[in-house]
Chain A
Amino acid sequence: MASLKTLARNEEEQPRFRSGHSMCAGCGMGAAARTVLNSIPGPVVVVGTSGCFEVTATRFPFTAWGVPWIHVAFENAAALASGLEASYLALKHRGRIPDEPVTFVVFAGDGGTYDIGLQSLSGALERGHHFLYVCLDNEAYMNTGVQRSGATPFAANTQTSPVGSRGRGKQEQRKDITGIVVAHRVPYVGQCSTSHLHDLSSKVERAVAVDGPSFLNVLTSCPTGWGHTTGDSVRVARLAVETRFWPLYEVVEGHWRLTHEPAHPAPLQEWLELQKRFSHLHGSRNVDLVKEFQRQIDEEWQELKRRTAADAAWFAERAGVTA
């Protein structure tokens, strides 16, 4: 597992993502993306989706990218990665590029992954392309002004699931994108958070080492959309993990393992209180929604525990390989 010093040295040698972008102060995506990029050995080529991460980093004629980068549309990052990989194979086969590994990395938002991008993601996973797909999940369509996506948590207030005299926020449970990805039988899947960068970096290393597609879902906090202070950006993500709303785990060849188990799970309210998108749940308001939210979290956690317990033996046998 690379130390931060190693990542820092990597970034010093080759700053793959640089300052000057216009992401909001405190945006969780910056650190997540830098950590991913600094954790990958060898050349990297990046694909993006339309969204905050794309617009803020590439406003002509400025680019924050120190590695090749392409973006075309909202829903097709995985298809672009597929085409790039095919191009790479064709060029290698014909000797037009040297026979050395190149890692293709997709940075997509939750909209471009859970919703509009799901088709192209599914196709690329099914075909088994060798690429790393990183979802930078800030839990709504943020770039267009905070509209709900399939990734938006239950009860969250967004512009299209607003709280009003009748509306009480999003009424649907968050889509289980990781389960969907795992169902494609890909070699490596991980759920990560911008609050736990060592965990993220280790997962990146394991992800890029597999022969086939890998997927990381990284919770990235959003001061603008979640309604927390910029300085709380990491704290909010950390609490999302500690409340067990956003467990950190990985799925290796279909086998589940927790990579972090909160010693003392934080009360859900501690996390909700930091965010204006949940102000209708603060204090003792809308208790039924809070209870339902907690019920969902508990149910998902129990299911996760069941799976990780069932797969513990598999990991034990492989001990030493996945350190």
Chain B
Amino acid sequence: MSKAVPVPPATKWLEPQVLTGAQASAHAMRQAGVEVFPVYPITPQTPIIETFSGFVADGKTDAVLLQVESEHSAMSAAVASALGGARTMTATASQGLAFMVEVIHQAAGMRAPIVMVVGNRALAAPISIHCDYSDSMLARDSGVVQIYSEDAQEAYNLTVMAPRIAEHPDVLLPVMVCMDGFTITHSAEVVSLLPDADVADFVGPYELANAMLTAGQATTRGVFTMPDHFFTLHNRMTAATETAATVYDEVARDFERRFGSYLGPVEAYRMEDAERAIVMMGAASGTVKEVIDEMRDAGERVGLVVVRLFRPFPRAALIQAIGQTPHVAVLDRASSPGTYPPLFVDAFATLLGAGDIRCYLYGIGGYDLKPQTVRSVYEELKGPRHEYIRYLGPSEED
């Protein structure tokens, strides 16, 4: 069970209902006051835009829905709309995200505060419609903020939080809220929503300085630079990505104050005296938590650190959560062929390679992470360290 489940003051939340992650995030986008929403369908994001389109059709939102002809155009329209002066959000996955990568980098460089909801899905080839993080990893070096949800409730809470992070004057970057394709997007869970007015009050109005249509003077955006100016502007963007860590904290604490649920940059699960820990992101951490509970009942000191904020990477929070835990397994759900995968690289570098930190790849192309596999990881952590990467997938003979 994730920390997203409301605790007092629970009276603010509406009665729990059965919603998929896609539906919950569509509600969050509606409530957070999206004004322009360019959409292009791709599995497993489609229920997000379909739910939202239903809101438009029933007059529950007066957002302008822009049914563009490709994801590249969706992100392009989003950049123009956000910089024009309207709160803008979009959603995509997999090949769609890949198609818009050029514009994601441009959005970050042009400092466009866009909320992007991603239903994580593996990149082709071969074609897969199932979850891994290869798609969002395409944007990990762009400067955008990336947050990974564990379940539908987290997807909702984080999407509500996202515009405040994106639009903060010291950030002004796209914020990508990621959720496992199908596992979160399509699975129905018990989810509590907040009342419209509370979300509207939490998020506030969209106020972008020097927006194209509201600045009252001519603004030029999307300029050509020579090396010295590019370097300076790029540094300012990366500084903003770093600042997003502080802003994330502020927004998460404000969300906790108002609504009683805290979703920190990492979540330490039963780490207090853990001897063996897993570090991972996303929905499969729910499975790991269940295995931990069983193993703890049997006296095994195992724990989990869920990385929620992936960009900017939560270095201090990870170091604190790991503490003195001697044996750590990092489970990646995206590969980087020819070398170590991304979460491992960031975690290893952050922990300065101190101690026994091992690299695993799981869930590629949606391959399920089974409880017995999780147990076997914890078992292996008792023994000698393997070399390089260990793959938690089907054997060649299967």
In the complex, whether B273 has a CB less than 8 A from a CB of chain A is: no
* Chain A residues whose C-beta falls within 8 Å of the C-beta of B82 in the assembled complex: 87
- Nearest-neighbour CB distance to chain B for A125, whole angstroms, equals 10
Given the known inter-chain contacts A55-B224, A79-B68, please indicate yes or no for A119 contacting B73, CB distance below 8 A.
yes
Given the known inter-chain contacts A47-B80, A87-B86, please indicate yes or no for A71 contacting B73, CB distance below 8 A.
no
In the complex, whether A63 has a CB less than 8 A from a CB of chain B is: yes
Q: 8 Å CB contacts to A: which residues of B67-95?
A: 67-70, 72-74, 76-86, 88
A59 to B223, CA, bound (A): 6
In the complex, whether B222 has a CB less than 8 A from a CB of chain A is: yes
Partner of A86, one of B36, B69, B106, B214: B36
In the complex, whether A75 has a CB less than 8 A from a CB of chain B is: yes
In the complex, whether B97 has a CB less than 8 A from a CB of chain A is: no
In the complex, whether B351 has a CB less than 8 A from a CB of chain A is: no
- CB 8 Å contact bits of B218-255 with A (1 = contact, 0 = none): 11111111100100000000000000000000000000
In the complex, whether B64 has a CB less than 8 A from a CB of chain A is: yes
Partner of B73, one of A55, A67, A120: A120
- CB 8 Å contact bits of A113-146 with B (1 = contact, 0 = none): 0000001101100110000000000000000000
Q: Which residue of B is nearest A102, CB measured?
A: B213
In the complex, whether B62 has a CB less than 8 A from a CB of chain A is: yes
B213 near A72 (CB under 8 angstroms)?
no
A70 near B63 (CB under 8 angstroms)?
no
* Chain A residues whose C-beta falls within 8 Å of the C-beta of B213 in the assembled complex: 45, 68, 84, 87-88, 91, 97, 102
* Chain B residues whose C-beta falls within 8 Å of the C-beta of A127 in the assembled complex: 66-68
Partner of B229, one of A61, A63, A72, A90: A61
* Chain A residues whose C-beta falls within 8 Å of the C-beta of B110 in the assembled complex: 72
Partner of B85, one of A58, A87, A119, A126: A87
Given the known inter-chain contacts A82-B73, A120-B69, A126-B69, please indicate yes or no for A87 contacting B222, CB distance below 8 A.
no
In the complex, whether B35 has a CB less than 8 A from a CB of chain A is: yes
Partner of B220, one of A65, A79, A94: A65
Partner of A123, one of B36, B70, B102: B70
B215 near A68 (CB under 8 angstroms)?
yes
In the complex, whether B38 has a CB less than 8 A from a CB of chain A is: yes
- Nearest-neighbour CB distance to chain B for A275, whole angstroms, equals 28
- Nearest-neighbour CB distance to chain A for B181, whole angstroms, equals 25
How many interface contacts (CB-CB < 8 Å) are there between A and B?
158
Given the known inter-chain contacts A58-B220, A79-B72, please indicate yes or no for A97 contacting B229, CB distance below 8 A.
no
- CB 8 Å contact bits of B116-152 with A (1 = contact, 0 = none): 0000000000000000000000000000000000000
A94 near B35 (CB under 8 angstroms)?
yes
In the complex, whether A69 has a CB less than 8 A from a CB of chain B is: yes
A70 to B69, CA, bound (A): 21
In the complex, whether B345 has a CB less than 8 A from a CB of chain A is: no
B222 near A71 (CB under 8 angstroms)?
yes
Of listed B62, B69, B79, B219, residue having the most chain A CB within 10 A: B69
A86 to B79, CA, bound (A): 12
In the complex, whether A310 has a CB less than 8 A from a CB of chain B is: no
- Nearest-neighbour CB distance to chain B for A21, whole angstroms, equals 11
Of listed B76, B85, B103, residue having the most chain A CB within 10 A: B76
A84 to B66, CA, bound (A): 11
- Nearest-neighbour CB distance to chain A for B56, whole angstroms, equals 13
Given the known inter-chain contacts A87-B36, A91-B85, please indicate yes or no for A72 contacting B70, CB distance below 8 A.
no
* Chain A residues whose C-beta falls within 8 Å of the C-beta of B84 in the assembled complex: 83-84, 87-88, 91
A27 to B181, CA, bound (A): 51
Of listed B35, B72, B84, residue having the most chain A CB within 10 A: B84
Of listed A45, A76, A127, residue having the most chain B CB within 10 A: A76
In the complex, whether B361 has a CB less than 8 A from a CB of chain A is: no
A73 near B106 (CB under 8 angstroms)?
yes
B103 near A96 (CB under 8 angstroms)?
no
In the complex, whether B317 has a CB less than 8 A from a CB of chain A is: no
* Chain B residues whose C-beta falls within 8 Å of the C-beta of A76 in the assembled complex: 72-73, 76, 103
B218 near A65 (CB under 8 angstroms)?
yes
- Nearest-neighbour CB distance to chain A for B360, whole angstroms, equals 38
B86 near A120 (CB under 8 angstroms)?
no
Q: List 9 A-B contacts (CB under 8 A).
A: A72-B110, A75-B72, A76-B76, A82-B66, A82-B68, A82-B73, A87-B212, A90-B35, A119-B69
Given contacts A73-B103, A79-B73, 11 further A-B contacts (CB under 8 A): A58-B220, A60-B224, A66-B218, A69-B219, A69-B221, A80-B76, A87-B36, A87-B212, A90-B81, A93-B62, A119-B73
Which residues from chain A sit less than 8 Å from chain B, CB to CB? 45, 47-48, 54-55, 58-61, 63, 65-73, 75-76, 78-84, 86-91, 93-94, 96-97, 102, 119-120, 122-123, 126-127
For the complex of A and B, list the 5 residue pairs with the smallest distance between their C-beta atoms, beginning with the closest: A83-B77, A123-B69, A87-B84, A83-B80, A71-B222
